[in-house]
A and B are shown apart, each in its own frame.
Chain A
């Protein structure tokens, strides 16, 4: 599985935007970029995913570099409830599509 690299931790203030980076220099042409987050005492929760184009949903935006070797998850206005570990995961819907390979993720702290 192609690997991703994320900062161990990031800090933000409430109601400010947050940009969570992810490097994936060995991404293959068929890998989708997925983001999950895990709130304390919860299982991981799907946030967003994309292939080449930037994506938006009600939770976040995903900005994907033109060469696809990096991406950024954008939380437009962080709230205290966004404090979680955020995981950037590459997933090929073909082949071993049955599993997610998690790294350690980025621990996001949101200050009031």
Chain B
């Protein structure tokens, strides 16, 4: 079975731009969570979506938003990018609202 897949694997954006990151959960998993991992730190929770509804939100500004589609895939959107948004963005999926299985992440660099 395929694991959690994230795309793209790497990307470079300019300050002020917008970015969309994508996540495909493991088949049968209805929950997707997003985490941000800055270099040298552990991952920090951003959002969880379960059955297409937001079930949890971390301490991130409104520039960060997400949604989940009927096929349970998810997008994370970040507007007005700042240099500090440079990080590894991780997606995790699970059957219920548990912690889940992580993908390998998208490395975002903001210049």
Contact = CB atoms under 8 A, between A and B. Distances in A.
Interface of A: 34, 41-46, 85, 87, 91, 93, 96-105
Contacts of B41: 102, 104
Contacts of A105: 42
Nearest to B9: A41
A99 B104 contact: no
Contact of A46 (B40, B55, B101, B103): B101
Interface of B: 4, 31, 33, 35, 40-45, 48, 50, 55-56, 58, 90, 92, 97-99, 101-105
20 contacts: A41-B104, A42-B104, A43-B4, A43-B104, A43-B105, A44-B43, A46-B101, A93-B98, A96-B56, A98-B31, A98-B33, A98-B98, A99-B48, A99-B56, A99-B99, A101-B45, A102-B41, A103-B42, A104-B40, A104-B42
B42 A99 contact: no
A101 B56 CA distance: 13
Interface centre among B31, B42, B58, B98 (most CB of A within 10 A): B42
A85 B37 CA distance: 13
